[in-house]
Chain A
Amino acid sequence: MRTLIGALLLMLAVGTAAADDTKLGDLTIAQPWARATPGAAPTGAVYLTIENHGASGDKLVAAASPVADTVMLHTHIVENGVAQMRPVDGIEVAAGAAAELKPGGFHIMLMGLHQPLRKSDVFPLTLTFEHAGKVDVQVHVGSVGATGPDN
């Protein structure tokens, strides 16, 4: 109970962080979101922004979630008019900078979804950073046509 009150006080003290933001040391993970999956498509993608308020760089090296068989860090590139999706071994977040995972670029790829992602669902995702370690975040599912965390 004391821990809970402590945590609540801490949240009040932090205050400025939005409800969907999660802190891990110098890192802030802002607004993790995913699109609802169309039909029975067994794949999905998670997007979020990682802010690094510290003095040294860090790197997102892995992600895991109970909603899918496999979770990978991917990038999406278009080269000579050809779309290619490729796994990456990590996503760098330089000191004092932010890494934005968004449609058309870096994303956290969910493969073998156990059930479709539906609008308004919330599911857990564990992120592992090279230096800061692990953190759990909650991913909010938007519409199938969502272009950002707010729709």
Chain B
Amino acid sequence: MRLHRIAIAISVICAALAIAIVIGWYRVVYLPGDTAGRPSVGGPFTLVDGDGRTVTDQTYRGKWLVVYFGFTFCPDACPTALNTIAGALDALGPEAARIQPLFITIDPDRDTPPVMKQYVAAFDDRIVGLTGTPQQIAAVAKAYRVYYQKVGDGANYTMDHSTALYVVGPDGRFNSLLAHDLSADEMAKRLKDLL
């Protein structure tokens, strides 16, 4: 009976090890990452801010970034996400100064620098809206593994786009993802834990 229990315990340990090995292998093979094992999301980018100035990832070094991809014709998901970010900044109080939210358009044809500037200002002055050439947007979307796709024709086309929010550390490295459906308070708590 005792031997039987030991056999079960050994089987459980072996199974757990096997699962751990498979997960580790998966991460190594499918999610190429840095030496700490984090997947390589994010990285260098060159974009244009609301005043038409060229900015890069270096521009924001030293701050925690909350990066969200969307477009200004978006009537539902994007305002909701930007309101949540604005609410989280309010909830963080003075600590919010250490965070730089970036709203990057995946619709550069319509979202020119002035359009982006006006749009983000309606939510919170602390949010920076970034656009760029179609090539610059494609590059940053690829780096962040963001999916986007134009749907429909004519002036009223819409865009499918990834909804996740990306947290990037002051060192410029990807830290974590935030779900788009967090409340402002939940987002503030997640960010406060990181600061």
Is A40 located at the chain interface by the 8 A CB criterion?
Answer: yes
Q: Identify A103's interface contact among B76, B123, B164, CB under 8 A.
A: B76
Closest Cβ–Cβ distance, residue B124 to chain A (whole Å):
9
Say whether A81 contacts B163, CB under 8 Å.
yes
Task: Give per-residue flags for B57-83: 1 if the beta carbon is below 8 A from chain A beta carbons, else 0.
Answer: 000000000000000111111011011
B51 at the interface (CB under 8 A from A): no
Contacts of A86 in B (CB 8 A): 151
A45 to B163, CA, bound (A): 19
What is the 8 Å Cβ interface bit string for chain A, positions 53-96, against chain B (1 contact, 0 not)? 00000000000000000100000101001111110000000000
| Contact yes or no, B123 A144, CB < 8 A | yes
Contact size range, B: 20 to 34
**CB nearest to B183 among chain A residues:** A147
Asked if B147 lies at the interface with its beta carbon under 8 angstroms from chain A, I say: yes
B123 touches A38 (CB 8 A): yes
Q: Is there a chain A Cβ closer than 8 Å to B119's Cβ?
A: yes
**Which of A18-26, A105-113, A125-133 is found at the contact surface with chain B?**
A105-113
Q: Report if A43 contacts B (CB, 8 A).
A: yes
Cβ–Cβ < 8 Å partners of B118 in chain A: 38-40
Residues of chain B lying within 8 A (CB to CB) of residue A38:
72, 79, 82, 118-123
Count of interface residues, chain A, beta-carbon cutoff 8 Å: 30
Tell me the smallest distance from the CB of A40 to a CB of chain B, in Å.
6
A41 in the interface, Cβ–Cβ < 8 Å?
Answer: yes
Instruction: Kindly list chain A residues whose C-beta atoms are within 8 Å of the C-beta of B123.
Output: 38, 144-145
Contact A85-B115, Cβ < 8 Å, known A112-B155, A144-B83: no
Give complex CA distance A35, B78 in Å: 12
Task: Kindly state the separation between the CA atoms of A84 and B180 in the bound complex, as whole angstroms.
Answer: 14
Q: Quick check: is B86 within 8 A (CB to CB) of the other chain?
A: yes
Q: Which residue of A lies closest to B117 (CB)?
A: A39
A82 to B151, CA, bound (A): 13
In the complex, A70→B136 CA distance in Å? Answer: 32
Q: Which of A7-62 contact B (CB under 8 A)?
A: 35-45
Q: Are B163 and A82 in contact (CB under 8 A)?
A: yes
Determine if A104 is an interface residue (Cβ-Cβ < 8 Å). yes
Contact yes or no, A83 B77, CB < 8 A: yes
Q: Cβ of B125: which chain A residues have Cβ within 8 Å of it?
A: none
Are A39 and B121 within 8 A (Cβ)? Answer: yes
CA distance A76 to B181 in the complex (A): 13
Q: Which residues of B contact A45 (CB under 8 A)?
A: 75-76
Q: Closest 3 A-B residue pairs measured CB to CB?
A: A39-B118, A38-B122, A45-B75
28 contacts between A and B (CB under 8 A): A38-B79, A38-B121, A38-B123, A39-B120, A40-B115, A41-B73, A41-B119, A43-B74, A45-B75, A70-B156, A81-B164, A82-B160, A83-B162, A83-B163, A83-B180, A84-B151, A85-B75, A85-B76, A85-B151, A85-B158, A86-B151, A103-B76, A103-B80, A104-B80, A144-B79, A144-B122, A144-B123, A145-B123
Given contacts A35-B79, A38-B72, A147-B83, 13 further A-B contacts (CB under 8 A): A37-B122, A38-B82, A39-B118, A41-B73, A41-B119, A44-B75, A45-B75, A78-B77, A82-B163, A83-B74, A83-B180, A103-B80, A145-B83
